[in-house]
Amino acid sequence: MITLYYAKGTAALAPHILLEEAGADYATRLVDFAAAEQRSPDYLAINPKGRVPALITPKGALTETPAILAYIAQVFPGADLAPADPFGFAEAQAFNLYLAATVHVNHAHKQRGMRWTDDEAAQAKMREKVPANMTDCARMIEEHYLKGPWVMGETYSMCDPYLFVITRWMKVDGVNLDDFPAISAHFAAMQARPAVLKVMELHG
């Protein structure tokens, strides 16, 4: 049995969608951030970083969204959720790692500035930059990554739930999605998928 630890509004939404798309037999556990459950001894034993997602597999725990997405895609090859050839798989990984290492970090400056500085004025400056930084990221995705209609082209993949999460964040980070028609079309297509509709009942 696979178990996904998640919290609402987080990147854990991406692997949750992918598990559903894969037809996996899985369970979920909601981590209550409001009660600081992510810092409890029980949860820190699962993920010492105190963050979500965490995925419990038959071989142990996995953390970090790109790693979890790749694992799901490879454990359920029949679902065709990742390119089979090494270069295509590396391209998909490059996109997901860009979201994790750059876009997610830019988004985190809005509410998590204390990770980088204790100076409240500096944190305020970080927040001011979020709309511009996230807009730059949207432009990079629109012009250089999103092949359309799905991230990797005609085939839905492990990249698409992650972009869906990021687009949700863009909407609240001040990005004008009207300026990015390909991202907007992708977001609309994701919202219509049965797996997304089902999972959003827990994440809405």
Which residues 6+ apart lie within 8 Å of 197 measured at CB?
191
Largest interatomic CA distance in the chain: 51
Query: What is the CATH number for 108?
Result: 1.20.1050.10
92-111 per-position pLDDT tens digit: 999 999 999 999 999 999 98
Same domain, 110 and 179: yes
Cα separation, 81 vs 20, whole angstroms: 12
110-130 per-position pLDDT tens digit: 988 888 999 999 899 999 999
* Residue 74: closest CA among 53, 89, 54, 58: 89
| 96 falls within a domain | yes
61, 79, 97 - which closes a domain: 79
Q: Count of alpha carbons within 13 Å of 41, Cβ hemisphere only? A: 0
Domain that holds residue 49: 2-79
| 146 falls within a domain | yes
Which residues 6+ apart lie within 8 Å of 202 measured at CB?
6, 8, 16, 28, 30
| 204 falls within a domain | no
Query: What is the CATH number for 58?
Result: 3.40.30.10
pTM, 2 dp:
0.97
> What mean pLDDT do residues 76-99 have?
98
Same domain, 168 and 93: yes
